[in-house]
Amino acid sequence: MLTLSVTPFDITMPVHQFFEDVWNAEDAGDFARLQADIDELFLPEYHNHHPLLPDQGRGRGGVAFMITSFREAFPDLRFTLEDLFSGKDRVAARWQATGSHLGPFLGAPGTGRPFVITGTSVFRVGRGKIAETWDQWDRLAFFQKLGVAAAPVPFENPRYQFESSDYRRAA
């Protein structure tokens, strides 16, 4: 009896291709090519648990919406995979993204400001394709870099004085 096993390469390949062939595509404006790549890499019932796009996170159409939304706002967007780990049906990717805010994004007009952000994405892979994604990155810092969110005010508590790693209650 022949037993087929899934290797770590099999699990990570669609995720690696997603970053290289979809996010970093040279022909970013070719929607037919984008749709073909999405069809090849994602299950039809794909679910993206993305907090910024909660209503567009299902199916291959949701992937196309997310990619085109980001590309219109950040046409020079590039991802670099820093680490890729896999286990069973999951892949974790630690990444860095760079780009410039040149078009509207979530109601904010393009500012022309460049950005560098880092994040982590966890993918569930099934039947050789991406089935689900969970992304974590510092959205507040991202919007601050774009100039569309105010920086937080440093917290000060007059009841305590901090010196080095010690603190004491103020008199």
Q: What is residue 20's predicted lDDT score, i.e. its pLDDT?
A: 96
Q: Flag whether 109 is in a domain.
A: yes
- The boundaries of the domain holding residue 52 are 8-148
CA distance 104 to 102: 7
Domain assignment of residue 29, yes or no = yes
Say how many domains are in the chain.
1
- Name the residue with higher pLDDT: 4 or 46: 46
Q: Which residue has the tokens 């567009």?
A: 56
> Does residue 143 lie in a domain region?
yes
**What tokens appear for 13 in the block?**
């390949």
Residue 52 has pLDDT above 80, yes or no: no
Rounded to whole angstroms, how far apart are CA atoms 21 and 5? 26
In whole angstroms, what is the distance from residue 30 CA to residue 103 CA?
A: 18
The answer on pLDDT for 92 being more than 70 is yes
Residue at 54 is within a domain: yes
Minimum mean pLDDT range among 4-13, 30-39, 119-128: 4-13
Q: How confident is the model at residue 87 (pLDDT cuts 50, 70, 90)?
A: very high
pLDDT in tens, 64-77: 988 998 999 999 99
Tell me, yes or no, whether 1 lies in a domain: no
Report the percentage of the chain scoring pLDDT > 70: 80
Which pLDDT band holds residue 47 (cuts at 50, 70, 90)? Answer: very high
What's the whole-number average pLDDT of the chain? 87
Sign of the CA dihedral with 132 first, then 138, 143, and 145 last: negative
Distances from the Cα of 19 to the Cαs of 5, 41, 95, 170, 171, in angstroms? 25, 11, 9, 52, 56
Residue 158 has pLDDT above 70, yes or no: no
pLDDT tens digits, one per residue of 110-142 = 999 999 999 999 999 999 999 999 999 999 999
Q: CA-CA distance, 41 to 91, in Å (whole number)?
A: 14
User: CA-CA distance, 18 to 13, in Å (whole number)?
Assistant: 8
CATH of the domain at 111: 3.10.450.50
Of the listed ranges 18-22, 47-51, 163-167, the one predicted with least confidence: 163-167
